[in-house]
Amino acid sequence: MFTIATWNINSIRLREGLVARLLQEESPDILCLQECKSPVEKIPLEAFRALGYNHIVARGQKGYNGVAILSRLPIEDAGDRDYARLGHARHVAARLENGVVIHNMYVPAGGDIPDRELNPKFGQKLDFVAEMRDVFHADRPERSILVGDLNIAPREDDVWSHKQLLKIVSHTPIEVDHLLSAQDAGKWVDITRKDIPDGLLYSWWSYRARDWDAADKGRRLDHVWASPDIANAGHGSRILRPVRGWEKPSDHVPVFASFDL
């Protein structure tokens, strides 16, 4: 059995201490980070190795994007893909010794205007997710786990107000359709919602709220999916809401799941 966590850290160097705290307090076997905002050579790997995370696969770039997989279990680099040809470090994969492949994804946020003509970033987001769909359709995932900040809250109860967010990037019908098409193409199972099928569930709260906790205007942007052949092995999902209240936090919190594999 192993436990995996996904967390958009919003700068791994700025929040090295928060990553170390999570590793010490929660001890996931594997931690997938997004938005590391650092070249790989400047990620503070020694601090994480000192905590037992000796196996690291990452893709980075200066100041933006970046994905990293920290593991206590041996992993090997399983490559990456430049989705939508953006030239961004938004995907990296690692293979465990048991053959399970972990995909760590960081889907573009997509800007503020949900119109690809007025806002090229929105078009890039849709193209990125459409390519995910095409890749999964062409090469059906097996013994795979996909985690990351997918920047889309698909269900009505994944946002604080379905009605008020229908025209807000991350919950627009076209984004949701794209994400569900990608999920369906790979027959991915949403492990978080398999374990917690009902009720409001969030992993992100904006920095703009004066009191994020009281306002509670959250969205579930961070996901853990599994291919259907191993989905029944997934369990124990939880979202660590209190982490949003740590000092100088990311606006995302970690999402956990365990797998009996």
| pLDDT single digits (tens) 189-223 | 999 999 999 999 999 999 999 999 999 999 999 99
Dihedral, CA of residue 260, residue 76, residue 91 and residue 37, to nearest 10: 110
Task: Please check if 232 is assigned to a binding site.
Answer: no
CA distances in angstroms from 125 to 90, 92, 166, 170, 217, listed in the order given? 12, 17, 17, 10, 23
Q: Which secondary-structure segment (H or E) carries 255?
A: strand 255-259
In the structure encoding, which two tokens stand for residue 244, read together? 């949003």
User: Span 223-252, mean pLDDT?
Assistant: 98
Determine what percent of the chain is predicted with pLDDT higher than 90: 100
Predicted confidence at residue 245, as pLDDT, reads: 98
Chosen CATH of 2-259 out of 3.90.1170.40, 2.60.40.10, 3.40.50.300, 3.60.10.10: 3.60.10.10
Decide: 1 and 251 in contact? Cβ < 8 Å.
Answer: no
3-state secondary structure 192-212: HHHHCCCCCCCCEECCCCCCH
Give tens-digit pLDDT for 143-152: 999 999 999 9
The answer on whether 190 is annotated among ligand-binding residues is no
What pLDDT, on the 0 to 100 scale, is given for residue 214? 97
How far are the Cα atoms of 95, 101, 149, 197 from residue 72, in angstroms, in the given order? 13, 15, 22, 30
Give residue for tokens 């013994």: 143
Is 247 labelled a binding residue?
no
User: What pLDDT is recorded for position 241?
Assistant: 98
What six digits make up the tokens of 173?
């019908």
Task: Indicate which residues carry an active-site annotation.
Answer: 106, 149, 252
Known binder of ligand: residue 149? yes
Each residue's pLDDT tens digit, 30-59:
999 999 999 999 999 999 999 999 999 999
Q: Is 252 annotated as a binding residue?
A: yes
Q: DSSP of 3-21, one letter per residue?
A: EEEEEE-S-TTTTHHHHHH
Given a contact cutoff of 8 angstroms between Cβ atoms, the answer to whether 1 and 25 are in contact is: no
> Residue 57 has what pLDDT?
98
Sign of CA dihedral 105, 111, 113, 117: negative
State the Cα–Cα distance between residues 198 and 157, nearest whole angstrom: 8
Summarised one tens digit per residue, pLDDT across range 91-111 is: 999 999 999 999 999 999 999
251 annotated to a ligand binding site: yes
Q: Note the pLDDT tens digit of each residue in 112-132.
A: 999 999 999 999 999 999 999
